[in-house]
């Protein structure tokens, strides 16, 4: 019963995504470093996301529980990146 309740709570919380938007001022190397630091991504993955932001205007960096996504968005704003929290429609 408890397990069921937990699962349904997760269903409510999932799926939120952390989106980073393009900004012509932030340096590419800086954005890559921020992705490595905030999400712990290896350099190659961080660079892939950075290039996606640069070329497509946005990239979904992470998806999952709302609370953690909010924390990530807050950290990204601390580094002055344009980041938003979106619910997967």
Contact call for residues 38 and 79 (beta carbons, < 8 A): yes
Q: Find the binder of another protein among 1, 24, 40, 44 (CB under 8 A).
A: 24
Quick check: 42 binds another protein (CB under 8 A)?
Answer: no
Quick check: 80 binds another protein (CB under 8 A)?
Answer: yes
Residue partners of 83: CB distance under 8 A and separation at least 6: 18, 19, 20, 21, 61, 72, 73, 76, 77
Closer by beta carbon to another protein, 6 or else 30: 30
Binding site for another protein (CB under 8 A): 23-27, 29-30, 33, 70, 73-74, 77-80, 82-86
């Amino acid at each position: 019963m408890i397990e069921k309740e937990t699962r349904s709570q997760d269903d409510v919380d999932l799926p939120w995504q952390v989106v980073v938007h393009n900004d012509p001022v932030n340096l590419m190397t800086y954005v890559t470093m921020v992705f490595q630091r905030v999400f712990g991504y290896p350099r190659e993955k961080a660079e892939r996301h950075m290039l996606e932001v640069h070329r497509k205007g946005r990239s979904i960096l992470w998806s999952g529980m709302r609370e953690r996504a909010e924390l990530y968005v807050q950290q990204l704003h601390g580094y002055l990146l344009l980041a938003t929290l979106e619910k997967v429609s």
